[in-house]
A and B are shown apart, each in its own frame.
Chain A
Amino acid sequence: MSLEVSPFGGSLPIVEPELENTSPLWIEEKEVSSAIVATVTPPQPASPEQGSRNFWKVFGTTFITIFLAELGDKTQVATLLMSAEFHAPWIVFTGAAAALITTSLLGVLVGRWLSTFLAPKTLDTAAGITLALISAWLLWDVIKG
């Protein structure tokens, strides 16, 4: 294995064919370390890292999707009403934040669990249908309200 590629897990797809005697365990460890690097460091323009770019792309897509779905939703209205009623916005925010982090962690874990026994193609179709239904749901809210 060459030294200049080992610290960067992001370049893995390019170097993989050269490393035929590499154990799967080693590859997995590299992927994990690259994910950690992507989590703690901002995007580095000096070395265009595939893994880091992918992380921020997924992060951005998820952020915008969930943020738009959440605006004006019942959770946000609940926090709005509670903070208006009790005049303790930071306590309400702390409780809501803890609940939302827990539910999004649950959501991602359920998604990963589904991916263990569903083919990627099936999962793509299911995700597409789910997002289309959410779209219809939002439009129905607009028409009704």
Chain B
Amino acid sequence: MKNILKPVAAFVTGLLVLTSCNNSTKQSNSKSGALASNIAEKVYVSPGEHDEFYAFISGGYSGNLTVYGLPSGRMFKEIPVFSQFPTSGYGYSEETKPMLNTSHGFVPWGDSHHPDISQTNGEIDGRFIFINENNTPRIAKIDLQSFETTEIIEVPNSAGNHSSSFVTENTEYVVAGTRFSVPIPQRDMPIKDYKGNFQGALSFISVAPETGDMDIKFQVLMPGFNYDLSHPGRGKSHGWFFFTTYNTEEASTLLEVNASQNDKDFIAAVNWKKIEEYVNNGGGTMMPAEYAHNVYDEHTHTATSTIKKEVRVVNPTDVPGAVFFLPTPKSPHGCDVDPTGEYIVGNGKLSANLTVHSFTKMLDAIENEKFDGEAYGIPILNFEDVLAGTVEQPGLGPLHTEFDDQGNAYTTFFISSEVVKWKVGTWEVIDRKPTYYSVGHLTIPGGNSRKPQGKYMFAMNKITKDRYLPTGPEMEHSAQLYDISGDKMELLLDFPTHGEPHYAAAMRADIIKERSKKIYNLEENNHPYAAKSDADTKVVRDGNEVHIYMTTIRSHFSPDNIEGIKVGDKVFFHVTNLEQDFDVPHGFAVLGQNTSELLIMPGQTKTSVWEPTKVGVWPFYCTDFCSALHQEMQGYIRVSPKGADTPIKWSMGEDIE
């Protein structure tokens, strides 16, 4: 009997152990209870507390840039860049219309893609953020004190400004590589003659160290491939820039098939320091070109647009040793350089493996002139000679890679909807996590610098499906935030993003939050139509133009009654906000206006044009709830018939005499 009991007891004990093991496993996988609330705590930012990171997420077809907080995923602001924005009057007010001027005229929309923050010594300095516009090639600069777009430069000879706007490690240059090759200069020619006749321009836009002023220093006119994405070298590879290409087939129709024939396309490695030296010594030629350069002056609160007439172009074959091609399988999309500057990851989007090139091996191959032919005079290096390693079969459809501060890389896989973490140098896969769904770019704060700031990674997905309450056929895209501080990635949060986010730039909040501007100093307002006190307000007729110098302060407009306007007049409301208190803007709108309202920050002047078409007495009012007496903040403007002799008169506080 004893003999029987023993094994039974052992069996029962074994079961208990197994069961309790099972229970504990179940608990750790459970999405409810104490552990789930632990995840919630990781993204919870208490009322009144601040997020640890800023994330600047491109809006794609919204044309704008949105500002988020991490880890909360809360959206703080939408910064208008390439699109008109009625929320603030950007692109509608007379002062900001020039920002959207191009050589094609006023372009009120853009397709914004890749934001990148300025750097000093390879580290994020938080002074400016640059972002590209794909459709009508432009690069914008946003000042991270005012969080406003302050400069936009159009990129000539370019089309589909996609491999942009990444900055070198001292913000010497912002690049703007063309996605589509085009005839340079543009001309009327048969499309079928693309091959050998179209060219791709890689533009290097210099950034003045103190002011941040941008200028196109030179363009490298490359063979007619598609230049998809780019990345600056850093550390040891500082001085080089890397661009992925596709359509090295130079097909011009049904690219889905015809640009996917070559087993390998290229990463173009450009030694920009060498070309810069060549240009500084008078190299390159000035080519006629037409492009707009728009600059916003914070003191006049006004943008000016200048059309430039020429650009310096460089033929890469004229600068031997400056440009090389690294064969990369197949149709590489993302082009990412690790924080040390040694490894260049080419994410072949149709390849089963991830290709990583070695900068050291590349230099060695160049030095030993181990070339495998050339393309349009540009040497092609041997694939094996530059290969550092491959990450074997990590997933389907690799797109983009970012790096943490621990020597790991994180690559997004569009087709298999996942992020894969792998070790730089050993190429072994460490972890993988699903995304929901079809991930494009991913971002790690500081990930585009020599010193990634780690802690979080977020993936920007193209498809939202069942992640939130449905909002009809159109839904905001979803982003997902992961904790990457441990060995395994942990999904923390889903949050919606606005437009179609591509890349994002993120950084520690403390670098910039104290520098954020609170008001514009009224004494420094040099707007030509500013009224700095109620005593300066007036209405001036100049032919059929009427200029109204108007002020706002809680809770009135001055003047609030205006007469003598006639049908057919062009009325300029120049509205100065006299407030000098943080977060007290005033709005302005007049009935029947064909533009948008204005939102005027403290100390700022903005101008709205109104061309009255109907006789009457029309109200105007403040659109931003400003004080206890916001509803009373209003006025009237009297419009008389064309040719009437109603004299110009204005008043505030008493009846018009």
Q: A and B, one complex?
A: no
> Which residues on B are within 8 Å of A, measured CB to CB?
none
> Which residues on A are within 8 Å of B, measured CB to CB?
none
